[in-house]
Structure 1
Amino acid sequence: MERQQILDLYEWSSGVCFRHPERGPVATVCVKTIRPRGVGQHEVRACEDCLIAMEDIRREAARRAGSEYEPGRVGEGDV
């Protein structure tokens, strides 16, 4: 699957990437919602490059586990 096809599987909005906060608001996707004690909730957001890197990690983990890789599921907690 091509890069743009993978990116199109996600819902994008403006936000700050957890790995690149110095870039400021860019197109991001929520990969996780965390709920720190006493602070409410916070979305962990990733930019396009970081999302593709996470998809690559998932693809490799699936290959090693002998599982089928299914793109578009970053943040769901499975391979």
Structure 2
Amino acid sequence: MERQQILDLYQWDDGVCFRHPEQGTVPTVCLKTLRPLGAGQHEVRACGDCLIGMEDIRREAARRSGSEYQPGHVGECDV
């Protein structure tokens, strides 16, 4: 799959990337919702470059294990 096809599998919204907070608000994907005790909830978000990096890691792990790689399943945001 091409980069844009993978990115299109996700729901995008403005946010701050967990790896690049200095970039400020950019289009991001929610990876996980953290719920610390007494602190509400906090979304961990990733920009497109980070998301593609994580998809590359998943693709390589699938190749090594002999399983099928299916893009579009990074994170588990459940807001």
TM-score (norm 1): 0.92
> Which residue identity lines up with residue 50 of structure 1 in the other structure?
C
Give, in angstroms, the shift of residue 64 of structure 1.
1.1
Give, in angstroms, the shift of residue 52 of structure 1.
0.1
> Which aligned pairs between 1:14-33 and structure 2 lie closer than 5 A?
14-33=14-33
Structure 2: which 5+ runs fail to align? none
> Which aligned pairs between 1:1-79 and structure 2 lie closer than 5 A?
1-76=1-76
In the alignment, the residues of structure 2 paired with residue 65 and residue 38 of structure 1 have an alpha-carbon distance, to the nearest angstrom, of 40
Aligned-residue sequence identity (percent) comes to 80
The 3-state SS of whatever aligns with 2:55 is helix
In the alignment, the residues of structure 1 paired with residue 60 and residue 36 of structure 2 have an alpha-carbon distance, to the nearest angstrom, of 30
Work out which structure has the larger RCO, using CA pairs closer than 8 Å and 6 or more positions apart in sequence: 2
Runs of 4+ in structure 1 deviating by more than 2 angstroms, as ranges, are none
In the alignment, the residues of structure 2 paired with residue 60 and residue 38 of structure 1 have an alpha-carbon distance, to the nearest angstrom, of 38
Paired residue total:
76
Structure 1: which 5+ runs fail to align? none
In the alignment, the residues of structure 1 paired with residue 38 and residue 60 of structure 2 have an alpha-carbon distance, to the nearest angstrom, of 37
In the alignment, the residues of structure 1 paired with residue 33 and residue 67 of structure 2 have an alpha-carbon distance, to the nearest angstrom, of 26
